[in-house]
Amino acid sequence: MKYRKCFALAILPIFLLFSCGETAKKKSQPVSSAESKKDSVPTDTTTTREEKFVLTEENAIDFFFDYQKDLKVDKVKITTSFGSFTVQLYDNVPYHKANFIYLTRKGYFDSTQFHRVVRNFIIQGGSSDDKKTARKRREIGRYLLPPDTRKGYKHHRGTISMPSSEIDNPHMLASPYEFFIVVTHPGAYHLDGDFTPFGKVIAGMDVVDKINQVETGDGDWPHQNVYILKAEVVE
C-alpha cells in the first residue's frame, strides 16, 4: 500500500505539468486562415484591381490620336483559310491606321470571317456569327470613327477601306471592326468620298481574288466560311 501511495505521489507533478502544458498550447494555438476569413470583413479588391480599359464614343478619338504618335509599323499580314496577303497602311490616315493596328494587336481579327463577298467588286471581313467575336467587341468597346476621305486616295483595285456603320449614321461614320478590299479592275471609284481608303494590298492579291470567287448566298455571305486565321503586325 505504501508503495502505491509513493508511486501516485511521484507521478502527480508530472501529470499536472503535462496538463498545464496542453492547456497553454491550446490557448496559444493560432486561428486557422479559414476561421480568420470567416469572421473578418472582406477587403474591397475593386479599388486595388486595375480597371479594364474600354473604348467609347467619348474617348476613342483621343486614344487613337495618342496611339498613332509612336507607331513605327505600317504593314499587317492576314492569313486566311485560302492563303495569306499583306496590306500596307497609309500614314496620313492616322485614326484608321491606328485602329487597324490596335485591333490586330488585340487579336480581334483572329477567327473572324470574310462575311460578305460580291463577285468582281469587293470582299469584306472582320465579322462573324461566332459568339466569341461579339464578346471581343464588347471587351474592346463600342465606338465609330469619322470618315477621312480628303487625303487623295481612291478606291483602286487592292485598296483596303472601311465601311460605314449600319446604325443610324447620317455622317457615314466608319465601323471600326470591319474592312473591305476592292477587287474591281481598275477600281471602284464610285465609292470615293463616301468611304475611307486607309491602305492597299502589296502582296497576295491572288488570294484576295480567290476569296472573291467563292459561291455566296443571301446577303452575299459565302456558302463556304472564309476564315481569317490570324492577323499580325509586320514589325
Query: Can you say whether residue 59 is alpha, beta or left, with left for phi > 0 and alpha for psi between -120 and 50 degrees?
Result: alpha
- What pLDDT, in 10s, does the model give residues 61-84? 999 999 999 899 999 999 999 999
* Predicted pLDDT of residue 164: 81
As to burial, measured by CB atoms within 10 angstroms (0-12 exposed, 13-18 middle, 19+ buried), residue 85 is: buried
- What pLDDT, in 10s, does the model give residues 155-178? 999 999 998 866 555 566 788 999
* Predicted pLDDT of residue 218: 87
Query: Cα–Cα distance between 145 and 196 in angstroms, integer?
Result: 10
Percent of the chain with pLDDT over 70: 75
Q: Of 47-56, 158-167, 183-192, where does mean pLDDT reach its minimum? A: 47-56
Angle at CA 94, nearest 5°, toward 88 and 97? 40
Q: Which class does domain 60-68+76-233 fall in?
A: mainly beta
Residue ranges of alpha helices (H) inside the chain are 2-28, 33-39, 60-69, 94-105, 131-140, 205-212
Sequence ranges of the domains in the chain: 60-68+76-233
Query: Cα–Cα distance between 76 and 164 in angstroms, integer?
Result: 22
Give me the chain's average pLDDT, please: 83
Per-residue cell: 156 = 483602286
- Determine the average pLDDT of the residues in 117-130: 96
HSE-up (13 A, CA, CB side) for residue 177: 25
pTM listed for this prediction: 0.77
- What pLDDT, in 10s, does the model give residues 14-45? 433 344 444 434 443 433 444 434 444 454 44
